[in-house]
Amino acid sequence: MRRAKYEILEEEGSIYGHTPDLPGAWAKASTLEECREELQEVVEDWIMTSIAAHDPLPVIEGINLETTADVG
């Protein structure tokens, strides 16, 4: 979450957040704190969905998110 990026969408009156390392992981909420909380849930779901589908997970800041069952 430290690498998350946030942007104020003034026209909509909301905050948009995304994680550059996880394609499609984004959230939008009315406050920064709500956006952070929602983005955290989205990231957790993204990781769990990727594991369930046996999709490769990215290495982020040198941390390998692959499960031991996936490492050959």
Phi, psi of 19 (to 5 degrees): -115, 115
Structure confidence by residue, pLDDT tens digits, 4-61: 999 999 999 999 999 999 999 999 999 999 999 999 999 999 999 998 998 888 888 8
pTM for this entry: 0.81
Residue 33, in any domain of the structure: yes
Number of domains in the chain: 1
Distance between CA 14 and CA 61 in Å, rounded?
A: 29
Residue 72, in any domain of the structure: no
Q: Which domain holds residue 42?
A: 5-64
* CATH code (residue 50): 3.30.160.250
Burial-class residue 35 by CB neighbours within 10 Å (0-12, 13-18, 19+): buried
